[in-house]
Amino acid sequence: MEKRFLNENINIETRAKEDGTSEDIITGYGIVFNKESRVLGAWDPFIETIDKRALEGVNLNDVVATFNHNFDSILARVDANTLKLSIDENGMKYEFKAPNTTYGRDLVENLKNGNVRVQVLCLPQKKTVGQKAKV
């Protein structure tokens, strides 16, 4: 698995349901095409740009959204139909309903308060299609 750290906007929307309750929907871009990343790599720093062809041929059926990089705190996953991914000209967008779990509620509260601004996406690895520049 490969972890991507992004300082892109993470959106949260509270949607009313027919039964009078509500649900929190979290969306954002897990990958943004043709945009330089922040400096990555602690021991060998670099800046990365992801080419729009990077996801060609990649099986995205096992992508998982986790809380705080912890696979014991899974928020949503594609193969459970709780994580939706779509690819457009900007990149790969994700959407999931925050689960009614302690870490799901913590994430919602921290997003609303502005405490969480960085997202991490775990993807299957594929050959590199893009550029890396030494910093």
- Quickly list DSSP for 50-74: E-TTTTTT---TT-EEEETTEEEEE
Higher pLDDT, 4 or 97: 97
Taking the alpha carbons at both ends of the chain, their separation in whole angstroms is 24
Domain regions of the chain by residue span: 2-134
Overall pTM surpassing 0.85 (yes/no): no
- Are 121 and 8 contacting, i.e. CB atoms less than 8 angstroms apart? no
Asked whether residue 4 carries a pLDDT value surpassing 70, the answer given is no
Q: Is the pLDDT of residue 76 over 90?
A: yes
What is the pLDDT averaged over residues 93-109?
Answer: 92
31 burial level (CB within 10 Å; 0-12, 13-18, 19+): buried
pLDDT at 7: 44
Weakest-pLDDT range from 1-5, 10-14, 70-74: 1-5
Judge whether residue 82 has pLDDT over 70. yes
| pLDDT of 39 | 80
